[in-house]
Amino acid sequence: MRFPSMTALRALDAVARLGSVSAAAHELSLTRSAISHQISSLEESLGFPLTERIGRGIGLTYRGERYAREVHRILSNLEEASRRLDDQEISGRLCVSCNPGFATYWLCHHIGGFLREYPQVELQLISPRTPDDVSNANVDLFVAYGIGDWPDMTVEQIVALRFFPVCSPRLINAMGGLKSPQELSGFPLLHMSDYSDWRVWLAAAGASSVDAGTGIVFSDAHCAQSACIAAQGVGMGDNLISGDALARGLLVRPFEIAIDSHRGYYLVADPQKADRPAVQAFCNWVKTQLQASTQVWHDHR
């Protein structure tokens, strides 16, 4: 038996996946007759039929389905091998400026995976002066926190935030439970930067009797969440910073009410640097890994 052509194998794979010669022809930019010819030549090479007439269309025979599954597996392996070779060619220095909260509670838990995929990249992570600072000319890519307003930069939002109260289950037990937002008046409140997030949430929850201007104000997300996990008060968490702690049971959400934030996390880059292979690789990796993380957190809720 002679080795089948790659074009014939791709034609069979497309027909098996898409269910018709027409769809396969469109995907591969071939004519319907060319697809049919490739299938016929493959059948002649193999010595058994791959397709059969079903009404006005065609379907795969039993042996054709089994063979098509093996072909798809082999083609997928070839594509993956090519991708890995391309990834290994991505090299050079990559300086990423990352908001401390994002770095502490997500990036630092996953960053090793990036270097395993791109071992030739010389990666440097630094912290900005402020969460929305994108002024450092030595940085190739910023993971910034803000409202997305960075003129003359390429900007892509990667996390839209929703805020909600979080606290240690130990604190709730020690205080005898927390059944309604109005009962928050008996709990210490923990704030990030200012009192605004708690003010907005309490208004949305109809808990106007609770004074949002009490408690402790932190300038750093890590300190605020550490105090919350240590049962020092009820903090305002979000779907990124608090995701892992909620999945592990270190924090709980006493109420389901959540508010949309006008702020979020963004990938920001100078247009002259945005198309660099290492920058593109890091952006794609972050988005893929974030999607996987949020699915895990959702499954543990």
**From CA 141, how far away is CA 278, in angstroms rounded?**
10
Among 69, 6, 9, CA closest to 43: 9
Pair (70, 15) in one structural domain: yes
Q: In whole angstroms, how far apart are CA 255 and each of 142, 201, 252, 259, 296?
A: 33, 11, 9, 12, 21
- Could you say which of 88, 112, 141 is where a domain stops? 88
Q: Is residue 1 part of a domain?
A: no
DSSP string, 89-157: T--EEEEEEE-HHHIIIIIHHHHHHHHHH-TTEEEEEE--SSTT----TT-SEEEEEESS--TTSEEEE
In terms of domains, do 152 and 269 share one?
A: yes
Identify the pLDDT of residue 51.
86
Domain of residue 150: give its range. Answer: 92-159+264-299
Q: What are 207's strand-pairing partners?
A: none
211 shares a domain with 228 = yes
Is the separation of the CB atoms in 65 and 94 below 8 Å?
no
For residues 141 and 280, membership in a common domain is answered with yes
- Count of alpha carbons within 13 Å of 129, Cβ hemisphere only? 4
Residue 105 lies in a domain: yes
Indicate if 169 and 255 belong to the same structural domain. yes
User: How high is the mean pLDDT in each 10-residue block of the chain (301 residues)?
Assistant: 80 88 88 89 88 82 90 84 63 92 88 91 93 94 93 91 93 89 93 89 92 89 90 92 87 92 91 93 92 59 48
Do residue 21 and residue 61 come from a single domain?
yes
Say yes or no: 144 and 122 in one domain. Answer: yes
CATH number (domain holding residue 221) = 3.40.190.10
- 118 lies in some domain: yes
Domain total in the chain: 3
In a domain, 40, yes or no: yes
Residue 84 has a pLDDT of 60
Q: 268 with 196, same domain?
A: no
- Per DSSP bridges, beta strands 259-269 and 141-146 are antiparallel
Q: In terms of Cα–Cα distance, which of 190, 186, 205, 192 is closest to 255?
A: 205
Ramachandran bin of 97, using left for φ above 0, alpha for ψ from -120 to 50, beta for the remaining angles: beta
Domain co-membership, 256 together with 168: yes
Same domain, 135 and 272: yes
Contacts of 263 (CB under 8 A, 6+ apart): 145, 146, 147, 161
pLDDT at 85: 53
Q: What does 166-200 look like in DSSP terms, one character per residue? A: EB-HHHHHHTT---SGGGGGGS-EEEESSSHHHHH
Same domain, 167 and 257: yes
Whether 109 maps to a domain, the answer reads yes
pLDDT of residue 240: 83
Whether residue 238 sits in one domain with residue 112: no
pTM over 0.85: no
Q: Which of 88, 103, 133 is the last residue of a domain?
A: 88
CA distance 13 to 71: 7
